[in-house]
Amino acid sequence: GEDVEQSLFLSVREGDSSVINCTYTDSSSTYLYWYKQEPGAGLQLLTYIFSNMDMKQDQRLTVLLNKKDKHLSLRIADTQTGDSAIYFCAETIPTDSWGKLQFGAGTQVVVTP
């Protein structure tokens, strides 16, 4: 099975907050990432958090990391229709291959008016 797990779908009303959750298994991960993918496009890095941090805020985005539970979340405040996309969390895999990422299956976020 996958080492990084996410719920597959989230529906949210415009203006509300969205919370996307992710769990990972590799406790030696150094960085954890959130990427956004719009239809037919590549991945856009939204934010990342170093494993010794609990929280990181960047404008409308807040990342929370619970290292004990290996749980990562992304909160989007004041969700807009342009936030509709698939969101992937990813962890770095500390191997000989620097920078190798393990992705979750992605959470499709649909923002309704």
Partner 1 sequence: GAVVSQHPSRVICKSGTSVKIECRSLDFQATTMFWYRQFPKQSLMLMATSNEGSKATYEQGVEKDKFLINHASLTLSTLTVTSAHPEDSSFYICSAALQNYNEQFFGPGTRLTVL
Comparing CB distances to partner 1, the nearer of 68 and 97 is 97
Under rule CB under 8 A, residue 46 binds partner 1: no
Question: Residue 74, Cβ neighbours under 10 Å: how many?
Answer: 23
Candidate list 44, 57, 66, 81; residue touching partner 1; CB under 8 A: 44
* Residue 81 φ/ψ, nearest 5 degrees: -60, -30
Give the integer Cα–Cα distance in Å for 102 and 77.
26
Q: Smallest gap, in angstroms, from Cβ of residue 15 to partner 1?
A: 27
Comparing CB distances to partner 1, the nearer of 44 and 80 is 44
Which candidate, 113, 103, 111, 101, places its Cα nearest to that of 6?
103
Under rule CB under 8 A, residue 39 binds partner 1: no
Which candidate, 17, 31, 1, places its Cα nearest to that of 74?
17
Under rule CB under 8 A, residue 45 binds partner 1: yes
Under rule CB under 8 A, residue 98 binds partner 1: yes
Question: Looking only at residues 1 through 20 of this chain, which bind partner 1 when binding is defined by CB under 8 A?
Answer: 2
